[in-house]
Amino acid sequence: MTESKFEPDDNDGNANAGMRKGLTSYGDRGFSLFLRKAFIKGAGYTDAALDRPVIGIASTGSAYNPCHGNAPQLIEAVKRGVMLAGGLPMEFPTISVHESFAAPTSMYLRNLMAMDTEEMVRAQPMDAVVLIGGCDKTVPAQLMGAASAGLPAIQLITGSMLTGSHRGERVGACTDCRRYWARYRAGEIDAEETADVNNQLVASVGTCSVMGTASTMACIAEALGMTVPGGASPPAVTADRIRIAEQTGAQAVRIARERLTIDKVLTPAAFENAMRVLLAIGGSTNGIVHLAAIAGRMGLEIDLHALDRMGRETPVLLDLKPSGQHYMEDFHAAGGMATLLRELRPLLHLDALTVTGRTLGEEIEAAGPGFAQDVVRPVAQPIYPQGGIAVLWGNLAPGGAIIKQSAADPVLMEHEGRAVVFENAEDLARRIDSDELDVTPHDVLVLKNIGPKGAPGMPEAGYLPIPRKLARAGVKDMVRISDGRMSGTAFGTIVLHVTPESAIGGPLAYVRSGDRIRLSVANREISLLVTDEELARRAKESPVVEPTAERGYRKLFLQTVTQADKGVDFDFLRAPDTTGKVPR
């Protein structure tokens, strides 16, 4: 044991602070380190092992999270990479959140996971952290937490699941889950076939195989410069994914030594690159909410007007479901993000720094010239001429609303119709399948109270089902509007994230069945054709009572959660001064 290990405590000044990092004092710093070393030696470490950069590995494996089902193999490979590069790997657990197992909705827990990640990264001795995430909320939560913790950090994606095969048809979660369920609701397939396809939709561990939120956030993480090159696309069970894990471990040691802190990577230029990629991949609408939350941790606000302008000049190039045909494993075979970034190059900030210590432009260059493939289109032949996501405004959404135009029915994107209103999710569940429901295919379905505070947690209930009697008659799409979110794997003419939400008295709260609503994606308009005076009268007649809770996390959530345009983060977790806007 060398004398220098005992002092001084080196909180941030030393690239190799290792076990001395963040040392708390029991009134005697030397004694504090003495104690810490005694306990870590209880795990069998030698002095030689402890005298090196400490790399924390945030482990999010959980029996409740099949999307992270390869976490044990990833952790083993990360540790190998860390040790090959001369670091000491220290695995630690954080919360893991899976889409299907988190009630009332995974989004309700994203900020809790971000807080857990931030505080455990900050509290424990480490010089850099590897964040292992994949399922929808885990990657944004980890990036939010790591952004606030401020250490050198690197993201490792768990990777997508494999596709399955159902009676000769290739299937994958969860665009095909929705398609088959819609066919079952319409009476086209029976319960037996539904059970059969249920075995095939998730063919292995890993994240959803289409361009849902998980794949979107994987691509965004790479575009932000937060993964090693090629880190977004390898499927969970492949050797490529394991190699990415090993590289990630090794790179974590380098960023620890070079003190490449996360603020050097998460710059305005990086966020602009991420937005371009979000638009060009036909990414999940959830990507906007998560990007707003991550940016908010860095003191940046997403400018929805500018994002919409950016969308008009960014075509959708990636031919993946739900906007296109392919699956993530095809994107990987087509070269993954390098192929996409090469096409997008004229629209990117090539000088943005990545966790490799090189710029995005240098990484694109290093990936080589590319090859013939049919998953990433050239800019001249896009899947969709504009970005996948358009931002709408109007008296129904003064703070903006979102539509995924690349997954909507072109016929319905210019539409005026009669509102059929559901007051909340329970009301919807009670009436949507009733033969008595007064509804036609030309009506506009409106669902209130599924925003950040309304449900709470802004669930993915914005994908309102087609009323059963219309589904049986062959209706596949209708205009649907809510203050909630929708799964990135879903499709339809669906207006989401209406801001401000109805639960806090946004105009959506005062829509009544029979009102007329106009949607014009061309004009970026979502309007309630009711006068201001009438809306004011309704607000006075039946004022909104905001939801509250007596205690616990729910109370914290309801008191501090922000609206969709601020990322649905807690207000006290955002950077204290938000000075910049992205895109600039």
Is 246 one of the binding residues for ligand FES (CB under 6 A)? no
Q: Which of 82, 135, 447, 496 binds ligand FES (CB under 6 A)?
A: 135
Nearest to 234 by CA among 328, 315, 149: 328
User: Which segment (140-148, 207-215, 417-425, 554-562) binds ligand FES by CB under 6 A?
Assistant: 207-215
DSSP state of 227: S
DSSP one-letter code for 503: G
The DSSP letter of residue 283 is: -
Site string for ligand FES, 157-186 (x = CB under 6 A): ----------------x-------------
- How many residues touch Mg ion (CB under 5 A)? 4
With respect to Mg ion, which residue has the nearer C-beta, 364 or 486?
A: 486
Contacts of 398 (CB under 8 A, 6+ apart): 499, 500, 506, 507
For the residues of 323-350, what is the DSSP string, one character each? TSSB-HHHHHHTTTHHHHHHHHGGGS-T
Identified binder of ligand FES from the candidate list 125, 212, 225, 388, rule CB under 6 A: 212
What CA–CA distance (Å, rounded) separates 281 from 221? 13
Of 59 and 138, nearer to Mg ion (C-beta) is: 138
Among 207, 267, 284, 405, binds ligand FES (CB under 6 A): 207
Contact segment (CB under 6 A) with ligand FES among 206-214, 314-322, 417-425, 534-542 equals: 206-214
Binding footprint of ligand FES, residue count (CB under 6 A) = 11
242 binds ligand FES (CB under 6 A): no
237 contacts ligand FES (rule: CB under 6 A): no
Q: Which of 141, 208, 275, 317 binds ligand FES (CB under 6 A)?
A: 208
Residue 479 — φ and ψ, nearest 5°?
-75, 130
Handedness of CA 535, 538, 540, 545 (dihedral sign): negative
Per-position DSSP letters for 137-153, written without gaps between them: THHHHHHHHHHHH-S-E
* Omega before residue 456 within 30° of 0, cis: yes
Q: How far is the CB of 287 from ligand FES (least distance, A)?
A: 13
CA 110, CA 47: separation in Å to the nearest integer? Answer: 38
Q: How far is the CB of 135 from Mg ion (least distance, A)?
A: 8
- Residue 403: contacted member of Mg ion, ligand FES, none (CB under 5 to 8 Å, by partner type): none
Q: Which is nearer to ligand FES, 212 or 507 (CB)?
A: 212
> Which position among 9, 99, 222, 569 is part of the footprint of ligand FES (CB under 6 A)?
99
The secondary structure element, H or E, covering residue 170 is strand 169-171
Q: Report the residue number, 218 or 396, with the smaller CB distance to Mg ion.
A: 218
From Mg ion, ligand FES, none, which one binds at residue 135 (CB under 5 to 8 Å depending on kind)?
Answer: ligand FES
Segment near Mg ion (CB under 5 A); pick from 213-221, 294-302, 342-350, 468-476: 213-221
271's enclosing H/E stretch is helix 268-280
* Interaction pattern, residues 478-507, with Mg ion; x per rule: CB under 5 A: ---------x--------------------
Residues 517 and 417 sit within 8 Å (Cβ to Cβ): yes
Three-state SS sequence of 401-453 = EEEEHHHCCHHHHEEEEEEEEECCHHHHHHHCCCCCCCCCCCCEEEECCCCCC
Q: Which stretch binds ligand FES (CB under 6 A): 56-64, 123-131, 205-213, 543-551?
A: 205-213
Does residue 288 belong to the site contacting ligand FES (CB under 6 A)? Answer: no
* Residue where the block lists tokens 């003419």: 493
Smallest distance, ligand FES to C-beta of residue 129, A: 22
Element (H, E) at 129: strand 128-133
Helix (H, G, I), strand (E, B) or coil at 517: strand
Nearer to ligand FES by C-beta: 285 or 449? 285
Which token pair is 35?
Answer: 């104690």
Residues 33-92 that bind ligand FES (CB under 6 A): 67
Considering the rule CB under 5 A, would residue 62 count as an interface residue with Mg ion?
A: no
**Token pair of 197, please?**
């396809």
Residue 87 in the binding site for Mg ion (CB under 5 A) = no
In whole angstroms, what is the distance from residue 526 CA to residue 401 CA? Answer: 8
Nearer residue to ligand FES within complex by CB, 326 or 566: 326
By a kind-dependent CB cut-off of 5 to 8 A, residue 207 interacts, out of ligand FES, Mg ion, none, with ligand FES
Count of CB atoms within 10 A of residue 313's CB?
12
- Of these, 142, 213, 215, 247, which contacts Mg ion (CB under 5 A)? 213
CB 399 to Mg ion: min, Å:
24
Cα 507 from Cα 220, distance rounded (Å): 32
**Smallest separation, CB 554 to ligand FES (Å):** 23
Query: Which of residues 199 and 513 has its CB atom nearest to ligand FES in the complex?
Result: 199
- Selected binder of ligand FES within 116, 127, 136, 515 (CB under 6 A): 136
What does the alpha-carbon distance between residue 385 and residue 192 come to, in Å, rounded to a whole number?
Answer: 41
By the rule CB under 6 A, 328 interacts with ligand FES? no
Q: 112-171: which residues touch Mg ion (CB under 5 A)?
A: 136
Q: Does 285 bind Mg ion (CB under 5 A)?
A: no
Which of Mg ion, ligand FES, none interacts with 67 (beta carbon under 5 to 8 A by kind)? ligand FES
Asked whether 469 and 437 are in contact (CB, 8 A), the reply is yes
Q: Of 284, 264, 338, which is closest to residue 140 (Cα–Cα)?
A: 284
* Dihedral angle of Cα 344, 349, 350, 356, to the nearest 10 degrees: -110
In the complex, the smallest distance separating the C-beta of residue 106 from ligand FES, rounded to whole angstroms, is: 8
Q: Does 283 bind ligand FES (CB under 6 A)?
A: no
Rounded distance between C-alpha atoms, residue 308 and residue 246, angstroms: 38
Q: Nearest distance from residue 11's CB to Mg ion, in Å?
A: 39
Q: Say whether residue 216 binds Mg ion (CB under 5 A).
A: no
Residue 420 β-bridge partners: 445
45: phi then psi, degrees, rounded to nearest 5 = -80, 150
Give the relative orientation of helices 268-280 and 304-312 as an angle to the nearest 10 degrees: 50
Least Å distance between CB 107 and ligand FES? Answer: 13
- By CB under 6 A, name the binding residues for ligand FES: 67, 98-100, 135-136, 173, 207-208, 212, 214
- By CB under 5 A, name the binding residues for Mg ion: 136, 212-213, 487
